[in-house]
Structure 1
Amino acid sequence: MDTPPARATLKDVAQHAGVSTAAVSQALNDRGSMRPETRERILEAAAALGYAPDRFAAALRRGRTMSIGYVSTGPGPGADEGHTARATMRQLNSLVDVAAEHGYTVTVIPADRPDLLGAARVDAVYAPTAEANAPALSEAAARGIPIITTDVRVPAAAGTWIRTGYAAATTAALDHLRDSGCERVGFLTEAGGLAHGRIGEQAYLEWCLTHRQDPAIVRVRRGRPELTGPVRELMQAGADGVFSFYQEGPELFLGLSRTDLVLPRDLQVVALCVYDCDLNDRLGVTHVCVHPDAGPRLLLPALAAALAGGPALPTPLVLPWELVPGATTRPAARRGDRAQAKSP
């Protein structure tokens, strides 16, 4: 069996270029002052020898481990375990894929096992579903490990947080229903759901307060096959429009299609969409689309730069979201036109 060629070292490049190893390091990292022709000679020598910096060894010399801790949480009381597990795996898979692109590994740490942080040796902890008081986050802060949360504010000195857009998307959906002629908008949400459900419900309550509307909220346990009862309950409360924080558009649309309701004549509907927005488009469901899985792709470049001594992490990091009108709502009137039409 042939022996693989030895990997070129910094010393090999220095000898090939006729300079010191310090000069090679400066040239490869674009630091220091040297004549352009010397820098060019060093770069040509590195290319000729196939030299590639050992980023892991360099990170260790800087006290870094090139690993990110993923703080894992279980389902809350009353939450659907399968749904929570799927959401967690999407977040984790997204982090693993993007971390690998930047040369990082991922270590999973249960939120209630702060004792594992010492042995894990991570450069930062990413906690997309953890509460602010999770023991693992408190331990990370005590150890000076940067913390990244989702929709949970952390001091800039402790790390950063990612704003998913659930609150802004909820407000946009409610405004769209109001501008489409709805007099009272109901809110359909999951009983005992994930933390983002509380964010959406709080945004709904604040919107109702602003628009002087009595809230109409129905909480449904995930996996309930029949939506007729919950929707009828909202309609009996006077709702002529529904924002569903419980079901994504396709399931909601198919559930309501088995009733005698005609959308949007009898009821106008906007759905929250987290994963399959293309199917909403094909079905014509009006939806607001958020992208929680995009958090790692937004985070990793800034985190890698900060850990390498660059600018501090910006706070917050804001994820995109969009409102996509469809056939389950009527075309939204301009607010000025609507106000004028309703004035006596």
Structure 2
Amino acid sequence: MSVPRPGSVTIADVAREAGVSTATVSNALNATGRASEATRRRVREAAARLGYRPNPAGRALRTGRAGAIGLAVTTYGAVAWDVASVSYYAQAIAAATSVAHQHGYALVLLPAGLDADGWWDVQVDGVVLMDSPEDDPAVAVLRERRIPVAFDGRPDRPHARDSWVDNDHEQAIAMVLDHLAAQGATRIGLLAGDSSDAYTRACVSAYTARVAQPRIGFISHDDPEGRRAARALLEGGADAMHGIFDGCGRGVLAAARELGLRVPDDVLVVTASEDPAYAWTAPPVTTLSLLPVEAATRAVTALVGAIETGEGAAEADLPVRLDVRASTQPLR
């Protein structure tokens, strides 16, 4: 069998030679992901045998421009809002930019609020969509244009060519509920949103499957921290609260103060957030981290593989971490 000449070798050729996936090749050659050292060595040796060389400059000569990857949060459709103000997205954007550059692509942060016409005008080689909702018009346009898509969050009706990564939200919600129950909570409420993205649906489903008497408050655009929803749950007798969005911890603390309730003596508080400021609130709030750097790294790596080979990849076991602080000390 003849060996492909250097320059004609693709990442798929290396994957076949090494007996691994294209995503693993990207991870091994760019020092990302969780591949073992033995696997990285096998991939590097396969790439060397075949003469594989990533060539961003060659791509620019062929296409007339440098490669570019778009990143967008499409949860609220055509509603414009400041994505980078949320800690999860800010960390994901920084990580995605770094990984894209490692692969020879620019990272373009696309504005939240693009409508279908706007998506027809986007000029990129592939797009990472974060928290894409059901019937996302961005997905419909990108698929029609045959632009590869990688999702941070399980996509609605995924296609074979799609790539996606996600946390195990059932396990994450179980971790939070078990922690709160171990501290003495018996009436645990959930603060969620009214959007149709997979993250929200997965969290609500996991919560209702485990709680005999669900207490759910839905936050709104005019109350993004969920203070009003939290107050209603607390007035209804909730003795613990988990918020699935970044600002929910602040909303619960504010609602508790308004009602004269003490945290953690009267109510325990957990929120999903990457905001380091929760270590300094009064009291410091226990947070569930979805580790956005890991998610963005894997999503961009999978997208690059799809761009270069046409093959999608999926991972649904991304880790989470519970950072326990004073807001969930045992009830007295």
Please indicate the TM-score interval, normalised by the length of the shorter structure: 0.5 to 0.7
Rounded Cα–Cα distance in structure 2 between residues aligned with 1:30 and 1:124: 27
1:103 corresponds to which residue? 104
2:120 corresponds to which residue? 115
Post-superposition CA distance 1:34-55 (Å, at most 9, x none): xxxxxxxxxxxxxxxxxx9853
CA spacing shift, 1:220–1:125, aligned 2, 3 Å: closer
Rounded Cα–Cα distance in structure 2 between residues aligned with 1:227 and 1:54: 48
CA spacing shift, 1:54–1:23, aligned 2, 3 Å: closer
1:73 corresponds to which residue? 74
Alignment of 1:256-275 (within 5 A): 256-257=256-257, 259-275=259-275
1:292 corresponds to which residue? 292
Q: Which runs of 5+ in 2 are unaligned?
A: 10-46
**Conserved 8 A contact 1:71-1:125:** yes
Question: In the alignment, residue 204 of structure 2 is paired with which amino acid?
Answer: E
Deviation at 1:232, TM superposition (A): 4.8
Structure ranking higher on relative contact order (CA contacts 8 Å, 6+ apart): 2
Deviation at 1:322, TM superposition (A): 0.8
Rounded Cα–Cα distance in structure 1 between residues aligned with 2:175 and 2:308: 38
Question: In the alignment, residue 120 of structure 2 is paired with which amino acid?
Answer: D
CA spacing shift, 1:226–1:314, aligned 2, 3 Å: closer
Question: In the alignment, residue 157 of structure 1 is paired with which amino acid?
Answer: A
Alignment of 1:191-340 (within 5 A): 196-208=199-211, 213-221=212-220, 224=223, 230-245=229-244, 247-249=247-249, 252-253=252-253, 256-257=256-257, 259-276=259-276, 279=279, 283-292=283-292, 294-305=294-305, 307-309=307-309, 312-316=311-315, 318-330=317-329
Rounded Cα–Cα distance in structure 2 between residues aligned with 1:226 and 1:281: 15
Question: In the alignment, residue 169 of structure 1 is paired with which amino acid?
Answer: A
1:338 corresponds to which residue? none
Out of 34, 38, 48, the residue aligned to residue 30 of structure 1 is 48
Deviation at 1:233, TM superposition (A): 2.9
Question: In the alignment, residue 320 of structure 2 is paired with which amino acid?
Answer: W
Rounded Cα–Cα distance in structure 1 between residues aligned with 2:73 and 2:244: 23
**Conserved 8 A contact 1:190-1:222:** no
Rounded Cα–Cα distance in structure 2 between residues aligned with 1:235 and 1:67: 47
Question: What is the TM-score when the length of structure 2 is the normalising length?
Answer: 0.65
Rounded Cα–Cα distance in structure 2 between residues aligned with 1:301 and 1:292: 14
CA spacing shift, 1:178–1:280, aligned 2, 3 Å: farther
Question: What is the TM-score when the length of structure 1 is the normalising length?
Answer: 0.63
1:137 corresponds to which residue? 139
CA spacing shift, 1:277–1:288, aligned 2, 3 Å: farther
Q: Does 1:179 align with 2:197?
A: no
Secondary structure of the residue aligned to 2:132 is: coil
Post-superposition CA distance 1:214-269 (Å, at most 9, x none): 21122344565998764453244332222123534456446535653233332222
CA spacing shift, 1:25–1:86, aligned 2, 3 Å: same
Q: Percent identity?
A: 25
Rounded Cα–Cα distance in structure 2 between residues aligned with 1:264 and 1:159: 44
**Conserved 8 A contact 1:228-1:259:** no
- Comparing 85-94 and 140-149, the one that deviates more: 85-94
The Cα RMSD (Å) is: 4.4
Rounded Cα–Cα distance in structure 2 between residues aligned with 1:164 and 1:325: 19
Count the aligned residue pairs: 283
Rounded Cα–Cα distance in structure 2 between residues aligned with 1:131 and 1:65: 30
CA spacing shift, 1:198–1:280, aligned 2, 3 Å: farther
Rounded Cα–Cα distance in structure 2 between residues aligned with 1:222 and 1:321: 27
Question: In the alignment, residue 276 of structure 2 is paired with which amino acid?
Answer: D
Q: Which runs of 5+ in 1 are unaligned?
A: 1-21, 34-51, 333-344
- Comparing 61-70 and 267-276, the one that deviates more: 61-70
2:44 corresponds to which residue? none
Question: In the alignment, residue 165 of structure 2 is paired with which amino acid?
Answer: I
